[in-house]
Amino acid sequence: MQWIASFLYTTFLFTWVLLFAMFFNLASLVVPLRTRYVLARFWVHVIMGGLKVLCGLDYRIEGRENLPAGGHVALWKHSSSWETFAMVLVCPPQVWVLKRELLWIPFVGWGIRQMHSIAIDRGSGHSAVKQVVDQGRRYIEQGIWVMVFPEGTRMAAGETRKYGVSGALLAREAGCLVVPIAHDAGYYWPKRGLLKKRGTVTVVIGKPIDPAGRDPREVNEEAQAWVEGTIREIRARRDRLAG
């Protein structure tokens, strides 16, 4: 039954994304960035509502008090497609650091452009980092958050890799904070496959890290240790409740 529900949800998701992208692209011709963000939040509310109704997959957020005022850098665990939507609801008005290939998707990519995303060539090394710092600093000065997946790609549940330096470096250069965000979505909406499992994704927003005067690699190590440790705690807590 869960496979059927997952198939129906995937069909709904692709249909909704396509239809809303066409509307959003037209609306973006006349509305400012912050209004586009309101529209994006509505779009994601529908996505999450469909996920809950069809697949029985809900979510909850811990640590909202750890979101400081102003523009900052959020380092998100990347283990699923789920968080690419959820971040719109969890964090204040934002732009995303993403691979430039996403801009080439018809309709969807055009909508991503309208959100002023920072689209990078992941193979360009130092120039990609410079692009994130230069563009990201301008948004942070406007009070807009910058969303970063420091692992650079989706990792299977329980796995990780060395964090890229761009997010921590941006925060240091912009004089803002780094906010690590952990979740266990990869266990419910895996990196590959159709199945979406029933349950509740737990999102935990960590205490901000001040990168001032610190090596970005040291900041990354602190953020990564907290994120991976928190995910293990989430799963251990869930296993105790299930047992």
Backbone angles phi, psi at 233, to 5 degrees: -65, -40
Summarised one tens digit per residue, pLDDT across range 63-115 is 999 999 999 999 999 999 999 999 999 999 999 998 888 878 887 888 888 88
| Nearest C-alpha neighbor of 128 from the set 97, 151, 101, 103 | 97
Domain ranges of the chain: 2-242
DSSP state of 208: P
- By three-state DSSP, how is residue 61 classified? strand
pLDDT exceeds cutoff 90 at 119? no
235, two tokens: 């799963």
Q: Give the DSSP H or E segment for 49.
A: helix 33-55
Classify burial at 62, counting beta carbons within 10 Å of its beta carbon; exposed 0-12, middle 13-18, buried 19 or more: middle
Report the distance separating Cα 223 and Cα 73, nearest Å.
12
229, two tokens: 């440790």
Contact between residue 208 and residue 164 where contact means Cβ atoms under 8 Å apart = no
126: confidence class by pLDDT, cuts 50, 70, 90: confident
CATH of 2-242, one of 2.60.40, 3.40.1130, 1.10.8, 3.30.70: 3.40.1130
Report the distance separating Cα 214 and Cα 157, nearest Å.
30
What's the whole-number average pLDDT of the chain? 92
Summarised one tens digit per residue, pLDDT across range 11-49 is 999 999 999 999 998 998 888 888 999 999 999 999 999
